[in-house]
Structure 1
């Protein structure tokens, strides 16, 4: 169910934030790209060419978020001004809004605030529910949105063609979600939406130089796991002009992820790139800003208060965690437990580098298909070098699985997570490695309701006991592709039973599930969402891949 947008009772909120604190928050958000630490970031960071709501509304934005005028921080970030922002700010600064009700009234008078998201349609009473595949097919129109031409002052980004949203509070298109959603669209014959969504993402690369986390101005400083090449792999288009345009977008996306690589010496890092001790290049998650996220402003400020480290470091690592899609998880935490110890940008993740290997191979193959031999040789060599570096630094031979690399401690982090299956999915793992990972998966990651995300319980949503649709697909497909068909089938079976059990009980498709107790998932910064794009897509794809399974 989507989160309600009514304010909390005033007795549970601070009455007024001190002027000094508001000025501090405003100053944190005032610069498009704050100064970077020279040890971790080149001084010549590119200038931002956008403004987020926090930039535009400064102390008003900070007050609305910190006083929790709306229960979901994304609400005000998505609001549209009814008049010029400068006039709104002038009137705000001239007024007295110490009372929360008065501040909320001011916001509602001056902004069009998004309505609470309606729950996705449930499929009638338990006895009258249609088959799961029928329900999923009926949800696609409910989740489809038309092209976007942003209103003046909106945080929305332009989107030229129809697309599918995840659902709930996620009212715009999101990057990595969309690939898993497309898996279901293709099985339901919605190639029109697959093609239009690919066109949308290509247009975003052409306009912004990369695909943002989602189509909001406040997401532009980061991306998400690079899966555009996987989306293009679902396309049935054979038009050479379209293929060349899409290849150009892939090459530009790759350049975004490799920005700053030519400045590095062994042990250095710049933006998304890390030079390993032998000089080979791998990647990390990163965000160009080191201020609180607009959509989770209050949450980020409160985490930074606890951290005992420079707030800019905390904010950037929270943002980088959001770029990973695993927001949040013990993978990014220094102590493995507390969000205040987050250090995402000091970790080289196995999933990101596996996907970038896949991207490099895809570019090489597309270049060869279009007779660009120099490009094909270049990217094939890049992929080979990345594979060697992944094997050297991210493979833990003693434990028998791939793991994230800790830059500061110069070793793998050790914990087994579902990210260990990405090298099987993208062709990085050898057959021997795949067999070892299959054993580790069966031993530690296989839960009653599907694949565990991690083996630890922290209260973060990308940890145990939650299971997530994208990881079920990556894991099962990776195992199937490397000869472990029985285990892949078992994962699909368990996941389908989990999804079907909740569907029979409530008629809903959920964002995440508890795969230990086979029930709705929990944890995270916002309530459990339904809809839900990638769950629909992966579930539909599993049903198509294993039509004889009983669920």
Structure 2
């Protein structure tokens, strides 16, 4: 992308993290959650360690044996006893001649059942009825804490996205709530806000989702936007009722910012050379993700990068919700070049402005004029920074900004519409964004999330419901009604047309192909196409109500409209497999549970390494050498974490070099 002349481009590369950065005081994984205030209190102190740490070598061994087709199943499996005892039992038995790891897993773990995969369209059911019917399928009752489960119990009912995603997710929840609001399910919408507030109160922030392995990161901070939606029904009392959680959310995202020196970064906070405070993705851990453990090990083998730096960037990429996209890749195409922690993203900074504005409003309602004015001033400063650092005049769009190089990334994405969605763009910039979106991202089925084709799921040819919604609403707010309606019509035609062929709504769609695929397209990414699907259902219902005439046109043009599908797809199980030939005993927690989550011999043959597969670094199928969260040390310096690239321990000189490298990268 050609760069426009701007003072920001003349900025020297930023200085990196120094020893003055404040330590993080909270020892997240050593704390117990506060008791619930709801009807379903936590009955036991829960082990907050992710399974990769709690199970250690056993966790790695299960992955190495390829017992599950989906890595997330390992992270979600529930041990039948304390992990330390189970690991000790496994170590005693694993070298015996007749030991069978699959049988051991079958006897000592419970595999959660994927309920949403069992639903498909009923005869004569139209898309609106399907969405209404799916709320019950996607609803989970208030949780009771289960010993040694990775699931964090929630006090109220909640909606899950669907498929392999059987827990609440942060940014997904907002777009799901849109549908609940449109369907007058205010009870469920209110419950979800209370659940998210509960997690913020218990852990100091809303995690990526309600799993222990998600506690080390968050997702785009939509909590304040959710409160806007709820307040439109329940009134202004919503803001004061949730003021403590708003404040805790702000404290989490700005942790360490008050004492940062210009040119330094700490967790999510980055202070630019001119003193401007902005925000980046982050994860407090730098090991393979529990839910994508083998994929992260494989990515590390394909590069000579420091594995822990790579894994932290992969984790931070997962925090963005865009896992993964050319937006985060240094070369624009190769996953191992991911550089997420080096980027100030459009969404994070816009949502932080909204959080500050909401805090200002909440404090004004509560009578604290001083705090109200302070947060409004912070919001104005960050809004100005967005329109300076993230704006490219020549390209007519907002871009993510590399705070280390002092330059924008040059990858156009639908995130350019987020400043419009949150009403943070001047009119002239909004007009330019509208022109750029129409010229470069609009296709027959809606907007592609980027204009890059990489094979990653958050790139072309895919369109995603939350991005379509934010672009449409943002364009409407700035007077671009025709373009907004056109995008809405195209997207609805793609989604409803796919529904008529398949009988389900999906996570994402190919919006470039002229022909509508019943499977939504090739998908891309780390896992198969998912059905359900919370945010698709929610935003589609919102668009159908917003553009009823366009909806009718879509249905009129579709010869299958309002008719039962002739050949609906069978339900899609995210852990789809035939199941291995292992017994299910009376003792087994799997008795009566489909073994579709377990691996098959055919799968194993399909997954044999190809001769031309990249080998890269010798990353072993073992738990990382430092399988523990990486909180900063008391002196502000990071503890050295040795990547599993060699069986030999690092020398003191190597440790010193790794520590210096981490300090230069701006990571705690």
Counterpart for residue 496 of structure 2: 500
Note if contact 1:66-1:297 (Cα within 8 Å) is conserved in structure 2. no
- Indicate how the Cα distance of structure 1 residues 210 and 48 shifts in structure 2: closer, same or farther if over 3 A, else same: same
Counterpart for residue 74 of structure 1: 72
- Indicate how the Cα distance of structure 1 residues 447 and 281 shifts in structure 2: closer, same or farther if over 3 A, else same: same
Q: Is residue 170 from structure 1 mapped to residue 165 from structure 2 by the alignment?
A: yes
Shift of 1:98: 9.3
Shift of 1:260: 1.0
Q: 1:44 aligns with which of 23, 32, 52?
A: 23
Q: Is residue 546 from structure 1 mapped to residue 544 from structure 2 by the alignment?
A: no
**Structure 2: unaligned runs, 5 residues or longer:** 1-15, 30-47, 555-668
Counterpart for residue 237 of structure 1: 234
- C-alpha separation between the residues in 1 aligned to 2:354 and 2:242? 16
Shift of 1:491: 0.9
Which structure ranks higher in relative contact order (CA pairs < 8 Å, sequence separation ≥ 6)? 2
Counterpart for residue 139 of structure 1: 134
| Match runs of 1:110-259 below 5 Å | 110-117=108-115, 119-124=117-122, 128-235=123-230, 236-238=233-235, 240=237, 243-259=239-255
Q: 2:462 aligns with which of 457, 462, 466?
A: 466
Note if contact 1:508-1:531 (Cα within 8 Å) is conserved in structure 2. yes
Note if contact 2:17-2:266 (Cα within 8 Å) is conserved in structure 1. no
Q: Deviations over 1:139-179 (max 9, x none)?
A: 11111110112211010102000011101111111110010
- Indicate how the Cα distance of structure 1 residues 325 and 538 shifts in structure 2: closer, same or farther if over 3 A, else same: same
Counterpart for residue 536 of structure 2: 535
Shift of 1:473: 0.4
Secondary structure, counterpart of 2:278 in structure 1 = strand
- C-alpha separation between the residues in 2 aligned to 1:358 and 1:111? 43
Shift of 1:337: 0.5
Which has the larger share of helix? Answer: 1
- C-alpha separation between the residues in 2 aligned to 1:99 and 1:378? 68
Q: Is residue 486 from structure 1 mapped to residue 465 from structure 2 by the alignment?
A: no
Q: Is residue 287 from structure 1 mapped to residue 268 from structure 2 by the alignment?
A: no
- Indicate how the Cα distance of structure 1 residues 373 and 179 shifts in structure 2: closer, same or farther if over 3 A, else same: same
Shift of 1:96: 2.7
CA-based RMSD of the aligned residues comes to 1.8
Shift of 1:441: 0.4
Q: Deviations over 1:334-361 (max 9, x none)?
A: 1110111011000111111111111111
Counterpart for residue 527 of structure 2: 526
- Indicate how the Cα distance of structure 1 residues 409 and 38 shifts in structure 2: closer, same or farther if over 3 A, else same: closer
Secondary structure, counterpart of 2:242 in structure 1 = helix
Counterpart for residue 29 of structure 1: none
- C-alpha separation between the residues in 2 aligned to 1:100 and 1:492? 60
Secondary structure, counterpart of 1:307 in structure 2 = coil
- Indicate how the Cα distance of structure 1 residues 97 and 439 shifts in structure 2: closer, same or farther if over 3 A, else same: farther
Counterpart for residue 365 of structure 1: 361
Query: In terms of mean alpha carbon deviation, does 378-387 or 361-370 score higher?
Result: 361-370
- Indicate how the Cα distance of structure 1 residues 370 and 339 shifts in structure 2: closer, same or farther if over 3 A, else same: same
- C-alpha separation between the residues in 2 aligned to 1:275 and 1:414? 22
Note if contact 1:179-1:230 (Cα within 8 Å) is conserved in structure 2. yes
- Indicate how the Cα distance of structure 1 residues 313 and 338 shifts in structure 2: closer, same or farther if over 3 A, else same: same
- Indicate how the Cα distance of structure 1 residues 410 and 111 shifts in structure 2: closer, same or farther if over 3 A, else same: same
Query: In terms of mean alpha carbon deviation, does 140-149 or 302-311 score higher?
Result: 302-311
Looking at CA atoms only, which structure, 1 or 2, has the larger radius of gyration? 2
- C-alpha separation between the residues in 2 aligned to 1:99 and 1:374? 72
- C-alpha separation between the residues in 2 aligned to 1:310 and 1:530? 36
Shift of 1:239: 7.6
Q: Deviations over 1:361-396 (max 9, x none)?
A: 122122222222112101110110001111111000
| Match runs of 1:442-461 below 5 Å | 442-461=438-457
Note if contact 1:469-1:538 (Cα within 8 Å) is conserved in structure 2. yes
Shift of 1:291: 0.8
Note if contact 2:28-2:203 (Cα within 8 Å) is conserved in structure 1. no
Shift of 1:245: 3.2
Query: In terms of mean alpha carbon deviation, does 184-193 or 227-236 score higher?
Result: 227-236
- C-alpha separation between the residues in 1 aligned to 2:470 and 2:312? 27
Count of aligned residue pairs for this structure pair: 511
- Indicate how the Cα distance of structure 1 residues 344 and 41 shifts in structure 2: closer, same or farther if over 3 A, else same: farther
Counterpart for residue 57 of structure 2: 59
Shift of 1:539: 0.2
Q: Is residue 90 from structure 1 mapped to residue 88 from structure 2 by the alignment?
A: yes
Counterpart for residue 431 of structure 1: 427
- C-alpha separation between the residues in 2 aligned to 1:475 and 1:309? 36
Secondary structure, counterpart of 1:291 in structure 2 = coil
Note if contact 2:288-2:297 (Cα within 8 Å) is conserved in structure 1. yes
Q: Deviations over 1:188-235 (max 9, x none)?
A: 010000111101011111101000000000000000011111111111
Note if contact 1:508-1:530 (Cα within 8 Å) is conserved in structure 2. yes
- Indicate how the Cα distance of structure 1 residues 100 and 266 shifts in structure 2: closer, same or farther if over 3 A, else same: farther
